[in-house]
Amino acid sequence: MTRRPDSLIWIVAVVAACSTEGPSASREGGGASVGSVAAAARFKTVRSWPHDPGAFTQGLDYHEGKLYEGTGLEGKSTLREVELETGTILRQIDLPAAVFGEGITVVGDRIYQVTWKSQKGYVYDRATFRKLREFDYTGAGWGLTYDGQSLIMSDGTALLRFMDPTTFAVQRSVTVKDGTREVPNLNELEMVHGEIYANVWETSSIARINPATGAVIGWINLEGVFSDSDKRRYLKPGQQIDVLNGIAYDELSDRLIVTGKWWPRVYEIRADSAR
């Protein structure tokens, strides 16, 4: 596992909206999570871009210059390709009306997507979005990522399941802990520098997880990334927003893309060393 605890990481927080791209006022935020053993990094916002404010983001992945997104809610769940710089939806397919879409991950020329309560996942051709097959699993599907060998799925608890990407058999599992305390509500997932990054539902925190042991080795606290000033600027009267969710990693530029459900903006953020 490769770690860079002392380097700066470029993070892009996708928050959705229809405004101009370019630098925003630089600001700082974040800090240690209450009761945590692992240290938390602070962040600085660098610039922001637009994104669809109607997207109830459940999964996010960045691959070969393209941003892929899975959205949720029954009757509104989609898989889509999005232009990061403009928020334009380049293509989209709708999931069955009864299905609540969840996490996605790109594996070579395929995209995998799980669902919340249906205990069913989908495999698509990345170039065409044609559905190639379906697969079954037990329990809920929340987040999904790929470590080069296994699919890794969260289910809203502290458990992460490692699954064979061909047979979907569970190979092993780990319980995520910060010290001795289990970390439940693990949601969207992404592999970054050999670590699993996980949104923790209903918080502004991303846990950095050792995939071998499940130990939390650090936090990124994004509290305030969607600032009060940006809410005044980008939210329309009565517009609803939900929690931080969605992580994608742009390996070529060494930056993360994170978003919230129904948020109206995309943020590029620099995270300092954890302390």
Exposure of 216 in the CB half-sphere (CA atoms within 13 A): 30
Strand partners, 266: 14, 49
Contact 79, 92 (CB under 8 A): yes
Exposure of 268 in the CB half-sphere (CA atoms within 13 A): 17
Query: pLDDT tens for residues 57-84?
Result: 999 999 999 999 999 999 999 999 999 9
- Kindly report the pTM of this predicted structure: 0.87
Using CA atoms, how far residue 252 sits from 10, 67, 98, 270, in Å, is 11, 13, 37, 16
pLDDT attached to residue 13: 53
Low-confidence ranges of the chain (pLDDT < 70): 1-35, 273-275
- CA-CA distance, 20 to 227, in Å (whole number)? 17
Domain ranges of the chain: 9-271
Domain at 9-271: CATH code: 2.40.128.630
pLDDT attached to residue 273: 56
Query: pLDDT tens for residues 43-58?
Result: 877 778 898 999 999 9
Residue in the structure block whose two tokens are 């229809």: 18
